[in-house]
Structure 1
Amino acid sequence: MDTIVKLGSEGPVVIFSKSNCCMSHTIDTLIRGYGANPRVYELDQLADGDQMEKELMALGCNPSVPAVFINKEFVGGSNEVMSLNIRGRLKPLLIKANAIWV
Protein backbone atom coordinates (compact mmCIF):
# COMPACT_ATOMS: atom_id res chain seq x y z
CA MET A 1 0.00 0.00 0.00
CA ASP A 2 2.97 2.30 0.44
CA THR A 3 3.34 2.85 -3.31
CA ILE A 4 -0.30 3.82 -3.77
CA VAL A 5 -0.37 6.17 -0.78
CA LYS A 6 2.90 7.80 -1.88
CA LEU A 7 1.72 8.31 -5.46
CA GLY A 8 -1.71 9.42 -4.25
CA SER A 9 -0.11 12.28 -2.36
CA GLU A 10 1.96 13.57 -5.28
CA GLY A 11 -0.62 16.01 -6.59
CA PRO A 12 -3.87 17.76 -5.70
CA VAL A 13 -5.83 15.11 -7.64
CA VAL A 14 -4.54 11.65 -8.49
CA ILE A 15 -6.51 9.02 -10.37
CA PHE A 16 -5.53 5.38 -10.68
CA SER A 17 -7.08 4.12 -13.87
CA LYS A 18 -6.97 1.63 -16.71
CA SER A 19 -6.97 2.80 -20.30
CA ASN A 20 -9.84 0.44 -21.24
CA CYS A 21 -12.09 1.30 -18.26
CA CYS A 22 -15.09 3.46 -19.19
CA MET A 23 -15.73 4.51 -15.58
CA SER A 24 -12.12 5.64 -15.23
CA HIS A 25 -12.57 7.77 -18.33
CA THR A 26 -15.86 9.15 -16.96
CA ILE A 27 -14.32 10.17 -13.62
CA ASP A 28 -11.31 11.71 -15.37
CA THR A 29 -13.65 13.69 -17.66
CA LEU A 30 -15.78 14.82 -14.70
CA ILE A 31 -12.81 16.11 -12.74
CA ARG A 32 -11.24 17.79 -15.79
CA GLY A 33 -14.62 19.40 -16.46
CA TYR A 34 -14.13 21.46 -13.31
CA GLY A 35 -10.78 22.64 -14.68
CA ALA A 36 -8.55 20.34 -12.65
CA ASN A 37 -5.59 18.60 -14.22
CA PRO A 38 -5.33 15.28 -12.38
CA ARG A 39 -2.26 13.11 -12.40
CA VAL A 40 -3.44 9.83 -13.94
CA TYR A 41 -1.72 6.49 -13.51
CA GLU A 42 -2.87 3.96 -16.12
CA LEU A 43 -2.20 0.68 -14.33
CA ASP A 44 -2.40 -1.39 -17.51
CA GLN A 45 0.47 0.65 -18.97
CA LEU A 46 2.83 0.47 -15.98
CA ALA A 47 5.36 -2.29 -15.33
CA ASP A 48 4.25 -2.60 -11.70
CA GLY A 49 0.58 -1.97 -12.46
CA ASP A 50 -0.52 -5.43 -11.28
CA GLN A 51 1.06 -4.87 -7.88
CA MET A 52 -0.48 -1.41 -7.64
CA GLU A 53 -3.88 -2.90 -8.47
CA LYS A 54 -3.48 -5.38 -5.60
CA GLU A 55 -2.64 -2.49 -3.27
CA LEU A 56 -5.76 -0.63 -4.36
CA MET A 57 -7.89 -3.69 -3.67
CA ALA A 58 -6.29 -3.95 -0.22
CA LEU A 59 -7.41 -0.33 0.36
CA GLY A 60 -10.96 -1.47 -0.30
CA CYS A 61 -11.31 -0.59 -3.99
CA ASN A 62 -13.58 -3.10 -5.64
CA PRO A 63 -13.36 -2.76 -8.59
CA SER A 64 -9.79 -1.55 -8.31
CA VAL A 65 -10.19 1.38 -10.70
CA PRO A 66 -10.94 4.17 -10.84
CA ALA A 67 -9.43 5.12 -7.49
CA VAL A 68 -9.26 8.82 -6.67
CA PHE A 69 -7.12 10.76 -4.22
CA ILE A 70 -7.94 14.42 -3.59
CA ASN A 71 -5.72 16.55 -1.37
CA LYS A 72 -3.64 13.48 -0.45
CA GLU A 73 -6.72 11.68 0.89
CA PHE A 74 -8.26 8.56 -0.62
CA VAL A 75 -11.77 9.57 -1.73
CA GLY A 76 -12.83 6.27 -3.27
CA GLY A 77 -13.98 4.95 -6.60
CA SER A 78 -16.52 6.05 -9.15
CA ASN A 79 -19.53 5.66 -6.86
CA GLU A 80 -18.01 7.85 -4.17
CA VAL A 81 -16.84 10.54 -6.62
CA MET A 82 -20.20 10.62 -8.42
CA SER A 83 -21.99 10.84 -5.07
CA LEU A 84 -19.79 13.77 -4.03
CA ASN A 85 -20.58 15.47 -7.31
CA ILE A 86 -24.34 14.94 -7.01
CA ARG A 87 -24.32 16.31 -3.46
CA GLY A 88 -22.33 19.38 -4.56
CA ARG A 89 -19.27 18.42 -2.54
CA LEU A 90 -16.78 17.56 -5.29
CA LYS A 91 -16.09 21.14 -6.40
CA PRO A 92 -15.36 22.37 -2.83
CA LEU A 93 -12.95 19.46 -2.36
CA LEU A 94 -11.14 20.38 -5.57
CA ILE A 95 -10.95 24.02 -4.44
CA LYS A 96 -9.64 23.05 -1.01
CA ALA A 97 -6.96 20.90 -2.67
CA ASN A 98 -5.92 23.87 -4.86
CA ALA A 99 -6.72 21.77 -7.91
CA ILE A 100 -9.04 24.52 -9.19
CA TRP A 101 -9.65 28.16 -8.39
CA VAL A 102 -12.90 30.07 -8.34
Structure 2
Amino acid sequence: MGKKEWVTAEIKGHKVVVFSKTYCPYCKKAKDALKGIGLTDYTLYELDERDDGAAVQDALQEITGGRTVPRVFVGGDFIGGGDDTARLANNGELAKKLKAVGAL
Protein backbone atom coordinates (compact mmCIF):
# COMPACT_ATOMS: atom_id res chain seq x y z
CA MET A 1 0.00 0.00 0.00
CA GLY A 2 1.36 3.37 -0.99
CA LYS A 3 1.33 6.40 1.31
CA LYS A 4 -1.63 8.02 -0.43
CA GLU A 5 -3.66 4.84 -0.02
CA TRP A 6 -2.65 4.56 3.64
CA VAL A 7 -3.53 8.21 4.36
CA THR A 8 -6.88 7.83 2.57
CA ALA A 9 -7.65 4.67 4.55
CA GLU A 10 -6.82 6.41 7.84
CA ILE A 11 -9.03 9.39 6.95
CA LYS A 12 -11.93 7.14 5.98
CA GLY A 13 -11.40 4.71 8.86
CA HIS A 14 -11.62 7.21 11.73
CA LYS A 15 -14.18 9.84 12.71
CA VAL A 16 -11.54 12.51 13.36
CA VAL A 17 -7.94 12.50 12.11
CA VAL A 18 -5.32 15.20 12.71
CA PHE A 19 -1.98 15.22 10.92
CA SER A 20 0.27 17.43 13.02
CA LYS A 21 3.81 18.22 14.16
CA THR A 22 4.66 18.45 17.85
CA TYR A 23 6.34 21.88 17.62
CA CYS A 24 3.87 23.58 15.26
CA PRO A 25 1.85 26.45 16.81
CA TYR A 26 -0.98 26.05 14.27
CA CYS A 27 -1.18 22.35 15.13
CA LYS A 28 -1.46 23.27 18.81
CA LYS A 29 -4.23 25.70 17.88
CA ALA A 30 -6.18 22.95 16.11
CA LYS A 31 -5.66 20.43 18.93
CA ASP A 32 -6.64 23.06 21.51
CA ALA A 33 -9.81 23.84 19.53
CA LEU A 34 -10.78 20.16 19.54
CA LYS A 35 -10.01 19.85 23.24
CA GLY A 36 -11.88 23.08 23.97
CA ILE A 37 -15.16 21.65 22.71
CA GLY A 38 -14.65 18.42 24.60
CA LEU A 39 -13.09 16.11 22.01
CA THR A 40 -10.23 14.13 23.53
CA ASP A 41 -10.51 10.87 21.59
CA TYR A 42 -9.32 11.27 18.02
CA THR A 43 -6.61 9.87 15.76
CA LEU A 44 -3.45 11.97 15.87
CA TYR A 45 -0.35 11.56 13.75
CA GLU A 46 2.67 13.66 14.77
CA LEU A 47 4.58 13.66 11.48
CA ASP A 48 7.84 14.91 12.98
CA GLU A 49 7.96 11.71 15.05
CA ARG A 50 7.48 9.39 12.06
CA ASP A 51 10.14 8.16 9.66
CA ASP A 52 7.64 8.57 6.80
CA GLY A 53 6.41 12.04 7.82
CA ALA A 54 7.55 13.75 4.62
CA ALA A 55 5.91 11.06 2.48
CA VAL A 56 2.69 11.45 4.46
CA GLN A 57 2.81 15.21 3.82
CA ASP A 58 3.32 14.54 0.11
CA ALA A 59 0.23 12.30 0.15
CA LEU A 60 -1.74 14.98 2.01
CA GLN A 61 -0.78 17.46 -0.70
CA GLU A 62 -2.19 15.13 -3.35
CA ILE A 63 -5.40 14.67 -1.35
CA THR A 64 -6.01 18.22 -0.08
CA GLY A 65 -3.92 20.47 -2.31
CA GLY A 66 -1.70 21.53 0.59
CA ARG A 67 1.12 19.93 2.50
CA THR A 68 1.28 22.20 5.54
CA VAL A 69 0.11 20.92 8.91
CA PRO A 70 -2.18 20.61 10.63
CA ARG A 71 -4.51 18.83 8.26
CA VAL A 72 -7.77 18.11 10.11
CA PHE A 73 -10.40 15.66 8.86
CA VAL A 74 -13.87 15.06 10.29
CA GLY A 75 -16.00 12.26 8.91
CA GLY A 76 -13.59 11.85 6.01
CA ASP A 77 -13.85 15.52 5.02
CA PHE A 78 -10.92 17.94 5.16
CA ILE A 79 -12.00 20.88 7.34
CA GLY A 80 -8.74 22.84 7.18
CA GLY A 81 -5.80 23.76 9.36
CA GLY A 82 -5.32 25.48 12.71
CA ASP A 83 -7.08 28.75 11.95
CA ASP A 84 -9.95 26.97 10.17
CA THR A 85 -10.45 24.51 13.02
CA ALA A 86 -10.39 27.28 15.63
CA ARG A 87 -12.87 29.36 13.60
CA LEU A 88 -15.24 26.39 13.25
CA ALA A 89 -14.95 25.72 16.99
CA ASN A 90 -15.73 29.36 17.81
CA ASN A 91 -18.80 29.58 15.57
CA GLY A 92 -20.25 26.24 16.69
CA GLU A 93 -19.84 24.48 13.35
CA LEU A 94 -17.12 22.12 14.58
CA ALA A 95 -19.31 20.74 17.38
CA LYS A 96 -22.11 20.18 14.83
CA LYS A 97 -19.76 18.33 12.48
CA LEU A 98 -18.36 16.20 15.31
CA LYS A 99 -21.85 15.32 16.57
CA ALA A 100 -22.95 14.46 13.03
CA VAL A 101 -20.23 11.81 12.73
CA GLY A 102 -20.70 10.53 16.29
CA ALA A 103 -17.37 11.81 17.58
CA LEU A 104 -18.84 14.13 20.21
**TM-score by structure 2 length?**
0.83
**Residue 73 (structure 2) aligns with:** 69
Q: Does 1:11 align with 2:14?
A: yes
**Residue 60 (structure 1) aligns with:** 65
Percent of residue pairs identical:
28
Unaligned runs of 5+ in 2: none
**Residue 37 (structure 2) aligns with:** 34
Unaligned runs of 5+ in 1: none
Shift of 1:54: 1.0
Partners of 1:92 and 1:69 in 2: how far apart?
14
Q: Which has the higher helix share?
A: 2
Contact preservation (8 Å) 1:28, 1:38: no
**Superposed structure 1 runs of 4+ greater than 4 Å apart:** none
Q: Does the residue aligned with 1:9 lie in a helix, a strand or coil?
A: helix
Partners of 2:87 and 2:19 in 1: how far apart?
18
- Letter matched to residue 70 of structure 2: P
Shift of 1:85: 2.5
- Please tell me the root mean square deviation across aligned C-alpha atoms, in Å: 1.5
